[in-house]
Homo-oligomer: A and B are copies of this chain.
Amino acid sequence: MNLYIIFIVTFLNCYVNGVLTNRLTMFRGRPNDMYGMVRPPVRDPDEVLKEIKPQYYDQRLNHFDDKDNRTFKQIYYTDDSHFKSGGPVFVMIQGEGDASPDWITDSSSFMVKSAEQFNAFTATLEHRYYGESQPFNDTSVEHLKYLSTEQALADTAEFIQYLTKKLSLNGKVIVFGASYAGALAAFFREKYPNIAVGAIASSATVLAEVDAKEYFGVVSDSLGTECSQNIREASQTLDELLTTPEGVKKVRQMFKLCDTFDTTDSLNVAYLIYNLAMSIAGAVQYNQDIDGICRIMNDPSGGTPLQRYAKQHGLPGDDDCYDVKYTDLVKAMNHTTKKGVGVRQWTYQVCTEFGDFVTTNVKDCLFGHNIPVHMHIQLCSDVFGPQITVQTIQKAVDTRNAYYGGRQPNVTNVVFSNGSLDPWHSLSVLQDLSNSTKAVMISGQGHGADMVYSANETQSLRDAHNLITNQLQEYLK
């Protein structure tokens, strides 16, 4: 059978045969499911939520060509449960996945908690090309042309103006977002300062880099010295084994790879190592069972570090093997069906806008040295066409950083919050930029953790939430 591990899963039901279902599968730092990089808040099963129906805004397809009057239906949700006349408007900017209305209704959403406190109207807009907000019937390269950060920001601007006018909402507007959408929130405040008075930008990956090599560096830090060192040793052994036919045979057995696994194409090797690495990194990114991983990796009774690493990754059933073929990945990514969960669209964005390619190019990388930038560029090129090269991506990255300001954006009224464990904090703002633009590092937390509220949250989360609340008070003065 042909069982993709992590990399190529485009539909949730593709990997339920594997044993990795209890952990988020990851693609390029984005979990392979409909929600993308930020998990919706987990509902309290006892809470009876007001049913929120999707509404549709006729959004302009291309904000940057006045002659083009095409539109598409963009989904949005609103809730006035906590709104009092004259109150502010809180808008959750959505990122690379389906928009969940829970963000604006569920009491475990920090934005909802804030809305209660500030009597705010809440709204959220699905990102173009994700979820049901599809401009076209497919995601062919030609049709992906209008998928970009700039179009998404302009969507947000048009939508907010439409909504506030339609409902006569005269209060100030604050935008929220996490991860890519956190960057969108910060960028929105930067570029549309006359529409939003402030932004809460959680785990906002504002810096673009072709080679996001710091990512695995943070993973190493988050796992701790001993655990990282064991993974490092496992990876070194693995890298060595993969250089000889006998070694490859051994790796196939240990990791239950199908016999077709072919190391003569280095992309297959990169693809294998990347899958293994991102399985660990994904757990770290969302602070899920780091202890469990390290328990296995640090337990000498599990054999050599490599044996522990193999055990850590689990094994398919007796009859299954992992079929690791880079070309299958390309094939899977070339599905241009409308209802994908967003991996293809997200890959298009990284390939054309910001890179942020996770590699093993950091010193003493715990995952060896077999994940080069080249693998990512090759995939971009194989999936979207040979016009994409390392030069075009570098140029896009440079343009983006010059335009948005990288890690030192010249922007007022933004809170940049990050989790200390989250490897993506390496692309965010970690220091206060001014009296009104603050950074807060939340110790012991992962990606976008502060978007969720809980009465039992850790002190570090509570501190971050208090800081955000204080800043909201300032921004809404």
Contacts and interface: CB of A to CB of B under 8 A. Distances in A.
Given A157-B403, A161-B402, A402-B157, A193 B411 contact: yes
A191 interface: yes
Contacts of A405: 193-194
Interface in A155-210: 157, 161, 190-195, 197
A337 interface: no
Interface stretch (A9-17, A63-71, A217-225): A63-71
A402 B195 contact: yes
A409 B192 CA distance: 10
A412 interface: yes
Interface string A135-164: 000000000010010100000010001000
Nearest to A145: B67
A404 B410 CA distance: 16
Interface string A103-119: 00000000000000000
A148 B66 CA distance: 10
A347 interface: no
A420 interface: no
A74 interface: no
A279 to B, nearest CB: 33
Contacts of A403: 157, 192, 194-195
Interface string A223-237: 000000000000000
Most buried by B among A66, A161, A411: A66
Nearest to A63: B64
B64 A64 contact: yes
A194 B66 contact: no
B65 A194 contact: no
B64 A410 contact: no
Interface residues of A, number: 28
A405 to B, nearest CB: 3
Nearest to A151: B64
A64 B150 contact: yes
A396 B66 CA distance: 10
Contacts of A361: none
A391 to B, nearest CB: 13
A124 interface: no
Nearest to A434: B412
Contact of A190 (B193, B197, B396, B408): B193
B64 A65 contact: yes
Contacts of A66: 145, 148, 352, 396
Nearest to A392: B66
B352 A402 contact: no
Contacts of A194: 402-406, 408-410
Contacts of A402: 157, 161, 194-195
Contacts of A411: 193
Contacts of A197: 410
A60 to B, nearest CB: 11
Interface string A384-406: 00000000000010000011111
A410 B161 contact: no
A191 B411 CA distance: 10
Contacts of A191: 191
A148 B64 CA distance: 10
Contacts of A161: 402
A108 to B, nearest CB: 33
A235 B17 CA distance: 87
A150 B408 CA distance: 23
Contacts of A410: 193-194, 197, 412
18 contacts: A64-B65, A64-B150, A65-B65, A65-B145, A66-B145, A66-B148, A66-B352, A157-B402, A161-B402, A192-B403, A194-B402, A194-B404, A194-B405, A194-B409, A194-B410, A195-B403, A197-B410, A412-B412
Task: Give the 8 A-B CB pairs with smallest separation, nearest first.
Answer: A64-B64, A193-B410, A194-B405, A194-B410, A161-B402, A191-B191, A195-B402, A194-B409
Interface of A: 64-67, 145, 148, 150, 157, 161, 190-195, 197, 352, 396, 402-406, 408-412
Given A66-B145, A66-B396, A193-B409, 19 more contacts: A64-B65, A64-B150, A65-B65, A65-B145, A66-B148, A66-B352, A67-B145, A157-B402, A157-B403, A190-B193, A191-B191, A192-B403, A193-B405, A193-B411, A194-B404, A195-B402, A195-B403, A197-B410, A410-B412
